[in-house]
Chains A and B, each alone.
Chain A
Amino acid sequence: MNKNRIAITLGIVCLVLTIAISVQIKTMKGTSSTVSKRFSEDNLRDEVLKWKEKYETETLNLDNAEKRLATVREESTKNDTTASAKEEQITLNNNLLGITDVEGKGIEIIVKDNSSITSETIGVLDDISNYIVHDNDLRNIVNELKNAGAEAISINGQRIVSTTAITCIGNVIKINDEKVTSPFVIKAIGFPERFETLSRSGGILDNLDDYLEISTRKLDNVKIPKYTGVIASKYMK
């Protein structure tokens, strides 16, 4: 009688233990795959940083090489009387391309997502997406700036060059293939008074101002950084 009871109890304990162990094994499997996933993700993250760093170092190398080229060029063509005009042209071309840092008088426009509108405060018939900055808002502002005679433009430090695309993938805006986020600081060099057309009643900034947070100011000296990528000519001759 007593023996029987002990046997049954032991049986139950064994059964529970078996279940517990098999569950445990399953969990272990899951954990180890997650660990390896985390591990490989960390590796990937490391690799992203590694390539980014390599790119940044190479950008500095390019910077130095270009400065050196300018010196060597000047030095080795000093006996050529036609050289200095050509060198000036090359410098102008590089400035036009946007691969040099430039400065001059102009304007700074800051465009922000509207912080006073949230999913709680928004009207039933309204759409929250109206209150955030979209890629085509930025494209339109850039186009208007060009129309107002801008000579150089940047958005959050990304120089606008002839190969610049402003796009949106998911909800990430990319300029020159690099992520940019609100607030967007748009800088342009040009005749400040001409830029006023952007803010005129019915103009692009006036229209956007109904939804977004916008501020503009004229500046005596706007600094615009160079494009750090390469403007290639692999396919055109």
Chain B
Amino acid sequence: MNKEKITMATVVGIVCILLVSVMFAQFRTVEETDIEGIEVAREEELRTMIASWKAKYEETSQKVQETNKKINEYQEKAESVEETANLLNEELAQTNMLVGKTDVTGEGIIVHLSDNENKQIEEKDLLYLINELRLAGAEAISINDKRIVNMTEIVSVNETILINTERVTAPYTVKAIGNQKYLSSALSLKNSGYIDIYTSLGKTISMSVEKNIKILAYNSGNNLMKFKYVKEAK
């Protein structure tokens, strides 16, 4: 009788311990399933970050190679005034192009925006478009042949839009040179793309993809192409 009781107690005890450990195991499993969702997102984010840093590294690395090549060329041709002058001219032409002082051509897209009976195109619509084009890698942009350079502002004064302090009026033709695919697909993303957003607001916008676009040089006086207050830091 006594012996039997002890056996029972032992068995019950063992069962209890087992149950408790099973429950613990259960808890852990539940916890793990919960955090899985966040982990997947994290992994994706990490992958985008890698891609982004890698692209930047490759771009910079290429620029380093180009610069080193230029250094070598200067050194090789140091004897000849004519040849180094050519190198210098080339470099000047390259920076002039990047700044926007020259006419440029290349593939890209043209966006047409016009007023309709209900909705007008406002300066902030153009500002947002420029930002979207830059995000999609546009290398040169113009609005009604006004070149958008680094310090170009787009403002509205008494319902008139001014770009580089010059008046522009509807319809607006926005040209952008860059990778056609990136530019056009960025603007035409369903729902969240520029075209869908502004079309759903009732604005008139269309886009065409072009093989050969010409964008004119900055030609609005000299004030955005010189410095009065900026000095190169030592």
Partner of B226, one of A13, A77, A92, A232: A92
Cβ-based interface call for B56 (8 A): yes
Partner of A73, one of B43, B74, B155, B229: B74
B104-A236 in contact (CB<8A): yes
Cβ-based interface call for A211 (8 A): no
Partner of B230, one of A17, A147, A151: A151
**In whole angstroms, what is the CA distance A168 to B87 when docked?**
42
Cβ-based interface call for A206 (8 A): no
**B-side contacts of A231, CB under 8 Å:** 98
B229-A105 in contact (CB<8A): yes
Given A41-B42, A77-B88, A143-B155, A93 contacting B96 (CB threshold 8 A) = yes
**In whole angstroms, what is the CA distance A144 to B215 when docked?**
25
Give the number of chain B interface residues (Cβ < 8 Å). Answer: 96
Cβ-based interface call for B75 (8 A): yes
Partner of B105, one of A38, A189, A234, A236: A236
**B-side contacts of A45, CB under 8 Å:** 46
Cβ-based interface call for B6 (8 A): no
Whole-angstrom distance from the CB of B223 to the nearest CB of chain A?
8
Cβ-based interface call for A96 (8 A): yes
Given A90-B92, A150-B151, A76 contacting B78 (CB threshold 8 A) = yes
Interface size classification for chain A: 35 or more
B interface majority secondary structure: helix
Whole-angstrom distance from the CB of A107 to the nearest CB of chain B?
11
Whole-angstrom distance from the CB of B10 to the nearest CB of chain A?
9
Interface residues of A in 155-181 (CB under 8 A from B): 160-167, 177
**In whole angstroms, what is the CA distance A104 to B179 when docked?**
36
**A-side contacts of B47, CB under 8 Å:** 44
**A-side contacts of B152, CB under 8 Å:** 146
Q: Mark B110-127, 1 if CB is under 8 A from A, else 0.
A: 000000000000001001
Cβ-based interface call for A66 (8 A): yes
Given A12-B11, A55-B57, A92-B227, A80 contacting B81 (CB threshold 8 A) = yes
Partner of B108, one of A167, A190, A191, A235: A235
**In whole angstroms, what is the CA distance A177 to B98 when docked?**
20
B59-A48 in contact (CB<8A): no
Considering only CB atoms, which chain B residue lies closest to A103 in the complex? B233
A17-B18 in contact (CB<8A): yes
21 pairs across A/B with beta carbons < 8 Å? A9-B11, A12-B15, A16-B15, A20-B21, A23-B26, A27-B28, A31-B32, A48-B53, A65-B71, A75-B78, A77-B81, A80-B85, A83-B85, A95-B232, A96-B225, A102-B231, A140-B127, A143-B155, A151-B151, A162-B134, A163-B138
Please name 15 further chain A to chain B contacts, defined as beta carbons within 8 Å, in addition to the given A61-B60, A66-B67, A167-B135, sorted by A numbering: A20-B21, A69-B67, A73-B87, A75-B78, A80-B84, A90-B88, A96-B225, A104-B230, A106-B229, A140-B127, A152-B230, A162-B134, A177-B56, A228-B60, A235-B177
Q: Which residues of B contact A (CB under 8 A)?
A: 4, 7-8, 11, 14-15, 18-19, 21-22, 25-26, 28-29, 32-33, 36, 39, 42-43, 46-47, 49-50, 52-54, 56-57, 59-64, 67-68, 70-71, 74-75, 77-78, 81, 84-85, 87-89, 91-92, 94-101, 104-108, 124, 127-128, 131-132, 134-135, 137-140, 148-155, 177-179, 215, 225-233
